[in-house]
Amino acid sequence: MTGHARIYLDNAATSWPKPEGVYRAIDAYMRELGAPAGRSGYAEGVMVSRMVEQARTKVARFLGVQDPKCLLFTPGCTDSLNTVIHGLLHEGDHAVVSAVEHNSVLRPLALLEAQGRISLSRVPADSRGRVDPEAVSGALRAGTRLIAIAHASNVTGVVQSVAEIAKVAHAAGALVLCDAAQTVGHIPVDMSELGVDFLAASAHKGLLGPLGIGVLAVRPEAAQLVDSFRQGGTGTSSESVRQPDDLPYKFEAGSQNVPGILGLAAGVDYLSERGIESVEQHGIKLARQLIEALGETPGVTIWGQTADNARLPLVSMTLAGYEPQDVAAILDSVHHVQVRAGMHCAPAMHESMGTAAGGGTVRFSPGAFSTVDEIEAAIGAVRELAASSELAERA
């Protein structure tokens, strides 16, 4: 134990603490059940299989996925994104990617481009982190197979016009992969309303679940176009050496992460009981508190959302005279305020904003259990640091 109260504001990386129900669900499975899903006919095995499918239905409904079989469990959002990118794109295909993307999208696409397998167009974002759907439309060509778009940047928190981008893409015959890692669990996300073909998310961020589990929601017609790049046991069709073609087994090879799945389901239970609109308003309140106070602090620059349009509990800033990593280190060591500094695995976003040369930004990301008092303490810590910087300049 550290002996002091942590003010944890790194929920965009992973949420903490978790709801009590998440801890209980994982502990109960590990202690009382312990059986794999879909592998055994004894009582506990059957029970676990049923619980996993109940969890699938629960998460599918939460994300507006009509058929639970189209909700796939993966080892994480990165795996979900790679499943689509490597399974869908073939020799000669063209893809479009935006500047707001995380390296979980940028790197697999860059690899395929470097290998000469695909051509890739990069759509810019403005200094606030918004992607213009018209720019996406201008990047389309006859062989465009896929458009990858983050629902919101993990640097700026700006929510993109995904539904509009999806309409543009589909009119050109392209499919849309939406990275919803930063929005799911923070704001209402309905796959059918967004109109995308693939929706990827992680459990350990806004969904308040554990690490090591993610989801990929797919349109069934689009899923048929994606090759499975992982093959193995599914507990079904064991007599065949070929991976099953039906969902979800086509993409769920190997023993499932049952503790993760049940923990994820418990996180969704908490969000459903509290109400996603309530969680959203809580996040907006804390974001505005940060933006308004820090924006008035000498030497501080806020990047991305403004107090008027904030939707996500995510605020990036820089402080004149300090490297982002130094700011984060001082906030932690002196004030016990824990934030994330650097490039946030999103180099293109920082290039667009002009923050790359300075080492990125300092990101504050409150969570479902963050409080107004914690945010006020974080603001006070930044102001103290800014004041010391101002004094040093005058000396």
State yes or no: pLDDT of 1 exceeds 50. Answer: no
Work out the end-to-end distance of the chain between its first and last CA atoms, rounded to an integer number of angstroms: 39
Q: Which CATH superfamily is domain 275-394 in?
A: Aspartate Aminotransferase, domain 1 (3.90.1150.10)
Work out the average pLDDT over 220-230.
Answer: 92
Q: Which two three-digit tokens encode residue 111?
A: 């690899």
**296: buried, middle or exposed (CB in 10 Å: 19+, 13-18, 0-12)?**
exposed
3-state helix, strand, coil in the chain (%, to 5): 40, 15, 40
Identify the band that residue 230 occupies on the pLDDT scale cut at 50, 70 and 90. Answer: confident
State yes or no: pLDDT of 238 exceeds 70. Answer: no
State yes or no: pLDDT of 394 exceeds 90. Answer: no
What local confidence, expressed as pLDDT, does residue 36 receive?
86
Which DSSP helix (H) or strand (E) runs through 122?
strand 118-123
What local confidence, expressed as pLDDT, does residue 388 receive?
84
Question: Which residue among 70, 77, 178, 345 is the active-site one?
Answer: 345
Q: Where are the domains of the chain?
A: 20-273, 275-394
Work out the average pLDDT over 253-277.
Answer: 95
State yes or no: pLDDT of 393 exceeds 70. Answer: no
Q: What is the pLDDT of residues 301-344, one digit of tens each?
A: 999 999 999 999 999 999 999 999 999 999 999 999 999 999 99
What local confidence, expressed as pLDDT, does residue 223 receive?
95
What whole-number distance in Å separates Cα of residue 149 and Cα of residue 375?
Answer: 30
Q: Which two three-digit tokens encode residue 79?
A: 């795996």
Q: CATH fold of 20-273, please?
A: Aspartate Aminotransferase; domain 2 (3.40.640)
User: What region, left, alpha or beta, does residue 76 occupy, with left being phi > 0 and alpha being psi -120 to 50 degrees?
Assistant: left
What whole-number distance in Å separates Cα of residue 48 and Cα of residue 43?
Answer: 9
Work out the average pLDDT over 109-126.
Answer: 96
Q: Please provide the DSSP assignment of 196-228 as one string.
A: -SEEEEESSSTT---SS-EEEEE-HHHHTTSPP
| Cβ neighbour number for residue 381 with a 10 Å cutoff | 20
Determine the residue type at 196. V
Is 77 catalytic? The answer is no
Q: What is the pLDDT of residues 182-196, one digit of tens each?
A: 999 999 999 999 999
**What Cα–Cα distance (Å) separates residue 232 from each residue in 29, 236, 343, 373, 383?**
24, 11, 36, 50, 55
Q: What is the pLDDT of residues 160-212, one digit of tens each?
A: 999 999 999 999 999 999 999 999 999 999 999 999 999 999 999 999 999 99
State yes or no: pLDDT of 127 exceeds 60. Answer: yes
Report the share of the chain in percent with pLDDT over 90.
85
Work out the average pLDDT over 291-302.
Answer: 96
**What Cα–Cα distance (Å) separates residue 312 from each residue in 42, 260, 383?**
45, 25, 23
Which DSSP helix (H) or strand (E) runs through 302?
strand 300-303
Work out the average pLDDT over 78-96.
Answer: 97
| Tokens 């920082």 belong to residue | 350
Strands 315-319 and 361-364, bridge-based pairing = antiparallel
CB-based contact 368:282 (threshold 8 Å): yes
For residue 248, cis peptide bond before it (omega within 30 degrees of 0): yes
Angle at which helices 103-114 and 77-88 cross, to 10°: 30
CB-based contact 130:160 (threshold 8 Å): yes
State yes or no: pLDDT of 66 exceeds 70. Answer: yes
**Is the overall model pTM greater than 0.85, yes or no?**
yes
Per the DSSP assignment, residues forming a β-bridge with 149 are 178
State yes or no: pLDDT of 146 exceeds 60. Answer: yes
Give the three-state DSSP class for 378: helix
State yes or no: pLDDT of 60 exceeds 80. Answer: yes
Report the share of the chain in percent with pLDDT over 70.
94
Q: What is the pLDDT of residues 133-142, one digit of tens each?
A: 999 999 999 9
Q: Please provide the DSSP assignment of 320-343 as one string.
A: TTS-HHHHHHHHHHHH-EE-EEE-
What whole-number distance in Å separates Cα of residue 6 and Cα of residue 8?
Answer: 6
CB-based contact 382:364 (threshold 8 Å): no
| Cβ neighbour number for residue 173 with a 10 Å cutoff | 11
What local confidence, expressed as pLDDT, does residue 395 receive?
40
Q: In what order do the strands lie in the sheet with 315-319?
A: 300-303, 315-319, 361-364, 340-342
Determine the residue type at 360. G
What whole-number distance in Å separates Cα of residue 345 and Cα of residue 107?
Answer: 10
Give the three-state DSSP class for 144: strand
| Tokens 């981008």 belong to residue | 165
